Structure 1
Amino acid sequence: MCHMRQEDLPFVGSSHEFVGAEQGNTNVSVFLFHGKPGSGPGPHRHPYDDIQFIREGRGLWTVNGKAFERSAGDIFVIKAGEIHNFKAVGDSPLVQFDVHLSPRFTQENLSSSGLQFDCALGRHKRSSSENEPHG
């Protein structure tokens, strides 16, 4: 068994990060996202599925060019390779639990035009001030 506290996890951008390979010797990693209104990552994709559990607040997502709003209680799966981004909307923070089916985070950041400008492997690395790591 492995035990830790959320506040002891690395905090990057707007998220605590549980990196399975480093913190739990497991094949799953998790973002504990807590974003202020207007915050969220730019367009990106992962080579594995990403399951997002919205706990509080509201957000605006775009997945493969289709925009939609979701709120507390919604759960959805973003499949491997799907280009997605999201932003917290409204007056309260967006709080979500993002399960990445990988022992390490791998995120390919894309510009809004869809052209790649950075590929981050392993732990997230910011490629611009507009792209913060997420889920």
Structure 2
Amino acid sequence: METLIERADGRDDGEDWTENYEVLPGGAGISIILESTTREGVGPRLHRHPYAETFIIRRGSATFTVGADEVLGHAGQVLVVPAGTPHRFRTGPGGYEAVHIHANDRFVTDWLE
């Protein structure tokens, strides 16, 4: 059983790595978005998932809208958005790098705008 996933662009480092992964090997039961950008002010429009989404922020910052709240997340923090909660984010100055963990083996997204 294959349990190691190679980086699609062939690089052997963790820099500038932006990719989506669904149906991971070994029955992981999660899907992952790797997000890396140096641009400010980018991010997805308002949406929700029927499962929790966890953001592990590794570099930079982003302003998250989570339900009715606005949260500034920065490197070294973990943000958990509960299932069914509308959310979005905009990257801060200097960009943003994070791992987004979806508590489902496939992405299920209800776009609200």
Q: TM-score range by the shorter chain?
A: 0.7 to 0.9
Deviates more, 1:77-86 or 1:23-32: 23-32
What is residue 18 of structure 1 aligned with on the other side?
Answer: 21
Shift of the 41–107 alpha-carbon distance from structure 1 to 2, 3 Å rule, reads same
Judged with a 3 Å threshold, the aligned counterparts in structure 2 of structure 1 residues 93 and 5 are, in CA distance, closer, same or farther, namely farther
Which residue of 2 is the match for residue 71 of structure 1? 74
Shift of 1:68: 1.7
Percent pairwise identity = 26
Q: Secondary structure at the match of 1:33?
A: strand
Aligned pairs for 1:22-41 (under 5 A) are 23-26=24-27, 27-35=29-37, 36-41=39-44
Contact 2:73–2:79 (CA under 8 A) maintained in structure 1:
no
Query: Looking at both structures, which has the greater relative contact order when contacts are Cα pairs under 8 Å and sequence separation is at least 6?
Result: 2
Q: Which residue of 1 is the match for residue 87 of structure 2?
A: 84
**2:35 & 2:72 partners in 1: Cα distance?**
17
Shift of residue 74 of structure 1?
0.6
Distance, in Å, in 1 between the alignment partners of 2:6 and 2:109 is 25
Deviation of residue 25 (structure 1)? 5.0
Which residue pairs with 2:3 in the alignment?
A: 2
Residue type of the alignment partner of 1:55: R
CA RMSD of aligned residues (A): 1.9
- Number of equivalent positions: 104
List alignment gaps of at least 5 residues for structure 2.
10-16
